[in-house]
Amino acid sequence: MTYTGSDVLWHGEPIKAVIHIDSNTDYTVYTDGSYDSYAGNMIKSIKFNLSEGNNKVNPLGIASSNSISMSIYDKDDALSPANEQSPYYGKIVNGIEIDISISYDGVNWEPYGKYYATNWDGSFSEGWHGFVNVTAEDMMNTIGNKDLPEIQAYQGMYAADLIGAVMEGIGLSSSEYYVDDRINEQMTYGITTGSKVRDFMNNICQLLFARVVINRSGVIMFVPALDTYEDANEF
């Protein structure tokens, strides 16, 4: 049975993390070791720090990045950045993409967040390696720190077109962002202000009474500030 939106709590459903080591190499690990053909590798713990809920995010403006922290045990210590014998040595660096999925029926997997590594650390004591601790965050802070592209003064432009010009100006495709029709107002005139994309996001959200979140598929969502959603796991 797949998730229907009626149950918003976690009841021990298995979590999968796919770590994209490089363009040709993925490392997959689970909270339930029975999914791993290499018995002994598993996620010991995973914690989510989500700032998208109505009780966490400023209803106007941009939220800070959501983040995760994981403790992973690999029998060969392959994820330790200090392990020179690892096939991934030299590739365990910050910025690696980590895709998290969840299974509600034990077979099919649904997106549970797209993150980028910010820290790795391993341990070695008494002749044996321990867990590798990984922290990661979504792309919100990274995008917010980008320089605002040059946008001409506008008149009579719809919000979706202005947002699209900025998002695509920093290299995102139309599939990587979404503007809710309910905030797609026609804007009389104006200019973009500030030097960073976060300045633009804050300003546009103040103007449209909106907020910016990143959903579990990694899409940047411009949505009404005080709206609620039937599916609690939509974001």
DSSP state of 147: B
List, for residues 197-207, the tens digit of each pLDDT value.
998 898 888 88
pLDDT of 2 reads 47
Confidence of residue 51 (pLDDT cuts 50, 70, 90): low
112 exposure class (CB count in 10 Å sphere: 0-12, 13-18, 19+):
buried
Average pLDDT over residues 51-66: 60
- The tokens for 117 are 């590594």
**Whole-model pTM above 0.85?**
no
| Dihedral sign, Cα of residue 219, residue 54, residue 137, residue 165 | positive
Position with higher pLDDT, 71 vs 62: 71
pLDDT of 191 reads 61
